[in-house]
């Protein structure tokens, strides 16, 4: 396998890079299950920090899940028809609109949050409600849903497929349900996983928009590092990993699948 010094060098560099990325992560995870981090592993291993995280921050975890699912619902309802409309009307106006939807990606989350605060900050009931954060998340994740669905729709001859369905007696609504959505499904799935992953991990925007009663998972993480012992914060990181890594893997799988369909 290791036939030449060049190959060996390659392997060493790769391993070193992996270690550079993984060691701090593992250290953090380890800190979360160590009785006393400053004494080291010799102090013993425990799951009690995780229990404490659950006690302190389970609200944040549930809020994040609720936010992610609500965000997914809104981006599906807005994003799929939007992508369909853009795919069916290719032209300058559509391209401009597409760029316009993507604009929130180019603006720092902080600026976006400030704009939202300026506009709606004085609406009291809304400002302290979790739906205020939802608006921010939808703004930020919608372009991912639209682009993901649009790229799949653009790869199929949607116009002719719909004409085929229409000639067989299908109304516009039936064509959308029977033809457009099923054929866009790989893109919808990839978009949905991206939206959920981004929503759960979003910090910039959320940090500006949250109130003490509407803390999400990443905001809680920052809070725990700032105000709790290191072991609790590390245990929190572990919880975060457990939630986000499977989502990330599913997202990779779904995008790869959508890519295959497009070829």
Partner 1 sequence: MTLVLKNVAKTFPGGTRALLPTDLQIGQGEIVSLLGPSGCGKSTLLRIIAGLETAEPGAEIRFDDEDVAALPVERRKVGMVFQSYALFPNMSVRRNIGYGLKMQKLPKHEIDARVDEVIALCRLEPYATRAVTALSGGQRQRVALARAFAPRPRILLLDEPLSALDASLRNQLRDELAELLRQFRITAIFVTHDQDEAMAIADRVAVMSQGEVAQIGTPEALYRNPATPFVARFVGHAMPLAGRIDKDRLHLQGGALPLATASDGLQAFVRAEDVCIDPNGPLEARVETVTFLGTHYRIALSGVTEDSLYALHRGASAPGPGETIRIAIAPEAVITLSADQKAA
3-state secondary structure of 34: strand
- Spatial separation of the C-alpha atoms in residues 128 and 211, rounded to whole Å: 6
- State how far Cα 182 lies from the chain centre: 23
Q: Which of 166, 222, 244, 248 binds partner 1 (CB under 8 A)?
A: 166
Distance CA 251, CA 259 (A): 12
Which residues between 56 and 95 bind partner 1 (CB under 8 A)?
none
Q: Would you call 246 exposed, middle or buried from its count of C-beta atoms within 10 A (0-12, 13-18, 19+)?
A: exposed
Minimum distance between the CB of residue 88 and partner 1, rounded to whole angstroms? Answer: 14
Q: Which is nearer to partner 1, 156 or 248 (CB)?
A: 156
Residue placing its CB nearer to partner 1 in the complex, 180 or 196? 180
How far apart are alpha carbons 202 and 9 in whole angstroms? 38
Q: How far is the CB of 93 from partner 1 (least distance, A)?
A: 15
Give the shortest CB-180-to-partner 1 separation in angstroms: 10
Compute how many residues bind partner 1; rule: CB under 8 A.
19
Task: Give the residue among 57, 21, 60, 27 at the shortest CA–CA distance from 231.
Answer: 27
Q: Residues 169-208 vs partner 1: string with x where CB under 8 A?
A: xxx--x---xx--xx-x-----------------------
Of 52 and 178, the one with the shorter C-beta distance to partner 1 is: 178
Q: Shortest gap between Cβ of 83 and partner 1 (angstroms)?
A: 17
If one asks whether residue 7 binds partner 1 (CB under 8 A), the answer comes out as no
Residue 262 near partner 1 by CB under 8 A: no
Q: Which of 42, 118, 122, 160 is the binder for partner 1 (CB under 8 A)?
A: 160
Question: Quick check: 156 binds partner 1 (CB under 8 A)?
Answer: yes
Q: Establish if 163 lies at the interface with partner 1 (CB under 8 A).
A: yes
CB of 256 to partner 1, least distance (A): 19
Phi, psi angles (nearest 5°) of residue 34: -95, 140
Q: How far apart, in whole angstroms, are the C-alpha atoms of residue 26 and residue 76?
A: 36
Question: Nearest CA to 206 among 116, 96, 74, 126?
Answer: 116
In whole angstroms, what is the distance from residue 161 CA to residue 14 CA? Answer: 47
User: What residues make contact with partner 1 under the rule CB under 8 A?
Assistant: 156-157, 160-161, 163-171, 174, 178-179, 182-183, 185
């Amino acid at each position: 396998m290791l036939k030449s010094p060049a190959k060996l060098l390659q392997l060493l560099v790769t391993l070193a890079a992996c270690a550079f990325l993984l060691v701090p992560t593992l250290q953090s995870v380890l800190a979360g299950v160590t009785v006393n981090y400053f004494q080291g592993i010799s102090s013993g291993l425990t799951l009690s920090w995780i229990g404490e995280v659950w006690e302190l921050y389970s609200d944040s975890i549930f809020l994040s899940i609720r936010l992610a699912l609500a965000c997914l619902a809104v981006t599906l309802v807005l994003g799929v028809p939007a992508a369909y409309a853009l795919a069916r009307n290719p032209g300058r106006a559509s391209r401009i609109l597409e760029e316009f939807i993507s604009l929130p990606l180019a603006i720092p989350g902080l600026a976006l949050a400030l704009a939202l605060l300026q506009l709606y900050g004085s609406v009291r009931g809304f400002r302290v409600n979790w739906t205020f954060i939802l608006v921010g998340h939808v703004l930020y994740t919608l372009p991912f849903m639209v682009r993901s669905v649009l790229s799949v729709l653009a790869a199929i001859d949607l116009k002719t497929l719909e004409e085929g369905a229409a000639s067989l007696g299908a109304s516009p609504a039936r064509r959308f349900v029977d033809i457009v959505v099923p054929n866009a499904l790989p893109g919808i799935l990839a978009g949905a996983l991206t939206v959920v992953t981004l929503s759960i991990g979003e910090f910039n925007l959320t940090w500006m928009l949250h109130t003490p009663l509407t803390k999400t998972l990443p905001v809680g993480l920052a809070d725990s590092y700032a105000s709790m012992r290191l072991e609790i914060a590390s245990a929190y990181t572990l919880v975060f990993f457990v939630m986000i890594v499977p989502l990330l893997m599913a997202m990779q799988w779904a995008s790869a699948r959508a890519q295959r369909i497009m070829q």
